[in-house]
Amino acid sequence: MTNFNTNTICVQGGYEPKNGESRVVPIVQSTTFKYESSQQMGDLFDLKEAGYFYTRLANPTNDAVARKICQLEGGVAAILTSSGQAANLFAIINIAGAGDHVISCSTIYGGTYNLIANTLKNFGIESTFVEPDISVEELESKFQPNTKLVFGETLSNPSLNVLDIEKFANAAHKHGVPLIVDNTFPTPIFCKPFEWGADIVTHSTTKYMNGSANSVGGVVVDSGNFDWTKYSEKYPGLTTPDETYHGVVYTESFGKGAYITKMTTNLMRDLGSIPSPQNSFYLGIGLETLHLRMERHFANALAIARHLEKHPKVSWVSFSGLENDSQYELAQKYLPNGSCGVISFGVEGGREAAVKFMDSLKLASIVTHVADARTCVLHPASTTHRQMNDEELAAAGVSPDLVRLSVGIEDVNDLIADIDQALEK
Ligand code: PLP
């Protein structure tokens, strides 16, 4: 399936039924799996044999959907998690622990910012946040001997900055650490970060991948390109015996699958955060139309952004598809065929006017969500980013008047009419 084009993988990737098996990925809603002998079960525990024994560690429905996303991103291994937050947490703490340091782009989702700046700090992991347009020299000066990874979002939520993936990947590799990229907003339909040097990709599958806002989920995909053994002293968890798992050395036993295998055997074992097979089934169904939906999301958003740009009641519009947008040039490089359906803009009159506008919308609903089939709006400064002070808000590219409009796949003329009547009010 990996030789097929992205659109075909969306529909058929990850699952190839054998003769007489169900055509659709079955929902294996079972916590456990039966074996004839204790020996067989023991071999599974020792990782001598591959097979299912407990859904927290592996489940056929979850695996089929993870495989599809892995193929879409062009990776070697992937694991589903119960949320996007869990995906980013796992991606980081799989290779960083107390006493370590991470570098992150400052323009990231508020929840991920909080995770890195505060929760991981409480775990003993220090962080340095850098502006997306930081110079190469300055970026390189931020690395410390204990830096274990660099983190960024392809298209940041909600400020919509395009990550210069090559710049961040080159700096990371020069200092012997991987680049982790959260690719939630463009999805692999519009950007495949591995092609630009990223080593690990994460997603909140809650968003476009699921597409219908019916289940929270996440995924971590490994490109298999980062050579952990070259920097063995930095990543002992992958390159030396894991005494909590029969002394296995992940890089020796699993090669390019080392990172995801360790995530399964250590983090899923100890922290849980596996999605229910039912939720993974919904995700799999959503992925079958991802290519069609992303095209429509982008086309609708571009038409609305062009409309807003000319509207007298709108003070500014941020959408990388607009020719005069500050991100246009980077978008032409990394997102030449489209970006996503999310637009940020400011309503004349600031915070109060923004709230009035949102309350007057009829089709677009106010929800704490983005990136599904239905158009929705959010005021980040008073919701998703409310834990940030003004300085942190500014660094994350969130102004008090910023309205985040997540354009769905409805008829664009109906959406524009709704926006116009709300702006009038
Ligand atoms: N990453 C990005 C870019 C997001 O936008 C979000 C949520 O909005 C997350 C991660 C967290 O994902 P979840 O809500 O599925 O935990």
Q: Is the pTM of this model over 0.85?
A: yes
Q: Which of 112, 155, 383, 404 to mutate to test the pocket of ligand 1 (most atoms within 8 A of CB)?
A: 112
Tell me the mean pLDDT in the region 63-83.
Answer: 98
* Cα atoms in the 13 Å half-sphere on the side-chain side of 9: 20
Q: How far is the CA of 246 from the centre of ligand 1 (A)?
A: 35
Which of 235, 205, 207 minimizes the C-alpha distance to 220? Answer: 205
Burial of 21 (0-12, 13-18, 19+ CB in 10 A): exposed
Q: How far is the CA of 157 from the centre of ligand 1 (A)?
A: 9
* CA 85 to ligand 1: nearest atom: 16
Given a contact cutoff of 8 angstroms between Cβ atoms, the answer to whether 118 and 89 are in contact is no
Residue 50 has pLDDT above 70, yes or no: yes
Q: Is 291-424 the same fold as 17-285?
A: no
Q: How much distance in Å is there from the Cα of 214 to the middle of ligand 1?
A: 14
Distance 275 CA to ligand 1 centre (A): 15
Query: pLDDT band at residue 1, thresholds of 50, 70 and 90?
Result: low
Q: What residue ranges line ligand 1, CB within 6 angstroms?
A: 83-85, 88, 109, 111-112, 153, 157, 182, 184, 204, 206, 216, 218
How far does the centroid of ligand 1 lie from the alpha carbon of residue 212, in Å?
Answer: 15
**Ligand 1 atom at minimum distance from 88 CA:** 10
CA of 424 to the centre of ligand 1 (A): 32
- What residue ranges do the domains of the chain occupy? 17-285, 291-424
What tokens does 130 get?
């850098």
Please identify, in words, the CATH class of the domain defined by 291-424.
alpha beta
The atom of ligand 1 lying closest to the CA of 205 is: 15
Query: Can you give the pLDDT at residue 48?
Result: 80
Structure tokens at 330: 């980077």
Please answer whether residues 106 and 150 qualify as being in contact, where contact means their C-beta atoms are separated by less than 8 angstroms.
Answer: no
Of 225, 238, 229, nearest to 96 by C-alpha is 238
Nearest CA residue ID for atom 15, ligand 1: 84
Q: What percent of the chain has pLDDT over 90?
A: 85
Q: Which amino acid is at 298?
A: F
- Mean pLDDT estimate for the chain: 95
pLDDT digits (tens, 9 = 90+) for 124-177: 999 999 999 999 999 999 999 999 999 999 999 888 999 999 999 999 999 999
The protein residue with its alpha carbon nearest to ligand 1, atom 12, reads: 84
| Tens-place pLDDT, residues 256-276 | 999 999 999 999 999 999 999
Residue 218 pLDDT: 98
pLDDT of residue 49: 82
Q: Determine the atom of ligand 1 nearest the C-alpha atom of 86.
A: 16
The domain 17-285 is placed in CATH, from the list 3.30.70.141, 3.50.50.60, 3.30.1300.10, 3.40.640.10, at 3.40.640.10
Listed range (232-236, 354-358, 394-398, 419-423) with the worst mean pLDDT: 394-398
- Cβ neighbours, 10 Å, residue 244: 11
Averaged over 32-57, what is the pLDDT? 89
Taking alpha carbons only, the member of 339, 342, 346 closest to residue 317 is 346
List the residue whose alpha carbon is closest to atom 14 of ligand 1: 84
At 302-348, the pLDDT tens digits run 999 999 999 999 999 999 999 999 999 999 999 999 999 999 999 99
- Residues 287-300: tens digit of each pLDDT: 999 999 999 999 99
Please give the distance, rounded to the nearest whole angstrom, from the Cα atom of residue 45 to the centre of ligand 1: 33
- Which pLDDT does position 234 carry in this prediction? 98
